[in-house]
Structure 1
Amino acid sequence: MIRLLQSKDLKKAADIASLAYPGMLIQTDEKKKELIERLETEQREPNGIQFFGCFDEQDELLGIFRVNDFECNINGKFQRIFGIGMVAVHLLHKKEKVAYQLLSYFHNYARQEKVALVSLYPFNPSFYRKMGYGYGPLRYEFKFKPGEMLADGNKGRVKFLTASDEEAIVTLYNEYAQNNHGMLKRTWKEREYIKARKTYYVGVEEENRLVGALSFTLEPVKDSHFLHHHMIIHEWIWSNPNAYKQLASWISSQQDQVDRVVFRTNDQSFVYSLSNPSNDSNHVIPSVYHEVATTGSGIMYRITSIESFVNGTNFHGLGKPQDKTKVLLAIEDTFITEQHGLYELSYSSGRWAIQKVEDNIQANITIGIHDLSSWWMGCVTVESLYNIGEAAIHQIDPKKLDEWFKPKNGPICFTAF
């Protein structure tokens, strides 16, 4: 049985989490108590967070997970999506399909709530790919010298922000999210971090309005002296180029105190912001390609209702066929089996419509739900999937399919969950 966790369940939930995530350093009684208090607060507040548990017939807790209720920019239009996190299974109940039960419940819950897209950060990408999750955007970790920032802005207008600037930071952040596909609106937990001053914030104002903000920490360089620091940029948002340039100039001015600036972003074009983007690895890729960033695959997406996704997004802002058009789409989904089958996408009068049809017609596209999710979120082209044999295309131009169904820019996401 799976149900919402109650106060009486939280100690066992903390025990499971401490063994599933030893890197969280919550093994001591004191740290577990802190976690229990945090779980109680998060479960109680109206914050879009819910904790669930899987129980056996003796009411023993076997596994837990957290549902995050988000608003996500999908190609310029905010949609409700879910994110699953803190998935953990009791150490004595591994290989008993507990995780399967947790994910099945989560997907069904999303479908009941008419949430067409879910997301997660995987402990093992291949495990979740088998459950229908597709790869999201890559993240690039740049590590550059402060003086390498191309900077000609007025850093004199940069000032420290405080917890009293929370609303201004949130407003700017949500404006940035409105303009960037994949971004989530500011969450309750992120607001709590601002209030608790988990990081430093600097910002730029124009006409008494915040137009740029940067969140950072300073960290000592490992095995070095106490004056040797790196700057870790956790968040960098702006509403116009001038605000960006002022913050870039401020970063550049930190050369005397900061050895390297660490900036993690989904935007590979950030390399053009630097006069020398090389990191500190001194690694050259043949023939002569200097290493500028390390790259990671993280957030993954899954469409839980194809019909709801089409009807909700209607591929807003993308190219449209010139005439009435039909596309037959064969979806392979072995985890949410009711989604498996053939769909007819038809375009008329400026809108796409979708219906499931008899599976006895030649499809224009045959694709797995994991790759469909990545494609429709703008992470990969269907032309690329076709070229490597991961999608079959029949009697239709893959370039047209990308024009109609793939967002022009890949998603970006700052939110950890």
Structure 2
Amino acid sequence: MRFIEKLLKEEDFIHFVDIVVGAYPGSMDGLQPTKEQLKAHFMHNQYNDASINYYGLWEDNELVGGMRLHDFEMNLFSNIIPIGGVGLVAVDLLRKKEKIAKELIAHFFKVFLEKNIHFVALYPFKPDFYKKMGFGYGSKIHQYLVEPTSFPKGSTKRHLTYLTSQDKHRLADCYNRVAAKRHGMFYKTESELSSIFKNPRNYIIAVEREDKIQGYMVFSFNKQSETNFLLNNLVIKEWIYETPEALLELSTFLNSQADQVNRIEWNTQEENVHFFLGDVLNGTNHLIPSVYHASSVSGVGLMYRIINVRGFFEALTAHNFNGQTLTCKLTVKDSLLPENNQQIIIKAIKGNLNILDNENYDVEMMIDIAELSSLVIGVVTVQELFMLSKVKISDEQYIQALHQLFLVLEKPMCITAF
């Protein structure tokens, strides 16, 4: 018999760490923490951080899997909503392919549905696995690997300063001001904030003007040679800026590292930063036909899922859907959550939304929950989904109207790792 409950006993955490290390062997490599340190870290989170909870799955009183759940706050169209997160989904090496991960995810849904939370997210170990479970893709990330001199050099960097743990909440204030203006961003939790300063490899610098942090950067160095200690790359872990001036001062700092740094790794969801950089080439000399020079490498990562369609749309009644007037029957396919397998009527009048049960409608849109989850937050458009055969529309003359109804000008951005 299987059951899932919170991990509370030290013995349970010891077993969970063994499962995690088996599921993610890279977590014990090199400078990563020991098993004892992982156990202490997990237990500290469980007992001291209300936003983090660890769960285990037992079968016949044996722990065979587990996960970590997060309570986040997210900027959704300038409204702050609760969103659930799951990470560290791990299954005992001897128990794989026994649908343990599926049961853990189902319990993840249950936990947040009981909290009346309609939207969840995760970072997938296999995107296709979670796509089949109804998670839709978030914005892509672009990894640039450029020379320091590719970053513009401004007139000054005199407002730059190092930050210490005493500046933790000043840094958080800067981040949260940016998050409050940027669709998709999560507010920082106390644990996430502390981890920035606890990592001994991190350097943290900031632009400070008028006693206020207006931008900051967290970075570390990676050596590029076992025989030449002078060859290093600088890895940007977090770069937040409120103003063009703050961006340029931090860029000037990066430009000045040319004597010590080979290349700078910048992972960003901003699609057009190549306009900011000088030489955007990544050093591979790879040419894409006909003549496109390799610059960034892109990847899919964070995935979103609506776990209560009606509740999600009801929470958006204050959001204006681009001034559109349209009545749409939305038919959603959700193979994992039967309660989401439903039809609702969305009536928009000048962009103001109402959810109805019975109403004459102009058009029906049939869509899988994964694609719907990506559509409503602006990762993809109705027109794109239609051309890719990922949405069915009963009357094609309404494609443009539906496109405008769900159009989001700014794709969601999220730099929170969990």
**Coarse TM-score class (shorter-chain normalised):** over 0.9
Could you tell me how far apart the structure 2 residues matched to 1:26 and 1:227 are? 24
**Counterparts in 2 of 1:13-412, with a 5 A limit?**
13-25=16-28, 31-56=34-59, 58-198=60-200, 199-223=202-226, 225-314=228-317, 316-321=319-324, 323=325, 325-348=326-349, 351-356=352-357, 364-395=364-395, 397-412=398-413
What letter corresponds to residue 173 of structure 1 in structure 2?
Y
Cα contact 2:321–2:352 (8 A) shared by 1: no
What letter corresponds to residue 340 of structure 1 in structure 2?
N
CA change 1:341–1:207 in 2 (3 A) is same
SS at match of 1:43: helix
More displaced, 194-203 or 266-275? Answer: 194-203
TM-score by length of 1: 0.94
Cα contact 1:342–1:363 (8 A) shared by 2: no
Could you tell me how far apart the structure 1 residues matched to 2:391 and 2:125 are? 26
Could you tell me how far apart the structure 1 residues matched to 2:392 and 2:312 are? 22
CA root-mean-square deviation = 2.0
More displaced, 387-396 or 243-252? Answer: 387-396
Could you tell me how far apart the structure 1 residues matched to 2:218 and 2:159 are? 16
SS at match of 1:412: coil
Could you tell me how far apart the structure 1 residues matched to 2:49 and 2:357 are? 37
Could you tell me how far apart the structure 2 residues matched to 1:312 and 1:222 are? 53
How far off is 1:202 after superposition?
A: 0.8
Cα contact 1:139–1:297 (8 A) shared by 2: yes
How far off is 1:312 after superposition?
A: 1.6
CA change 1:86–1:356 in 2 (3 A) is farther
SS at match of 1:249: helix
SS at match of 2:182: coil
Structure 1 runs (4+) greater than 2 angstroms displaced: 150-153, 313-318, 347-351, 355-358, 360-363, 394-407
Question: Which runs of no fewer than 5 residues in structure 1 stay unpaired?
Answer: none
Could you tell me how far apart the structure 2 residues matched to 1:225 and 1:96 are? 48
How far off is 1:84 after superposition?
A: 0.6
Cα contact 1:330–1:363 (8 A) shared by 2: no
Q: Deviations over 1:21-80 (max 9, x none)?
A: 1110179xx922111111110100134000011112x31112101111000111211110
What letter corresponds to residue 19 of structure 1 in structure 2?
G
May I ask how many residue pairs the two structures share in their alignment?
411
How far off is 1:340 after superposition?
A: 0.6
Q: Deviations over 1:360-386 (max 9, x none)?
A: 999521110000001112111111010
Q: Which residue of 1 is the match for residue 414 of structure 2?
A: 413
Q: Deviations over 1:316-375 (max 9, x none)?
A: 254122x4x3111110111001111211011248631224569x9995211100000011
Q: What's the % identity of the aligned pairs? A: 32
SS at match of 1:155: coil
Cα contact 2:118–2:307 (8 A) shared by 1: yes
Question: Which runs of no fewer than 5 residues in structure 2 stay unpaired?
Answer: none
How far off is 1:304 after superposition?
A: 0.4
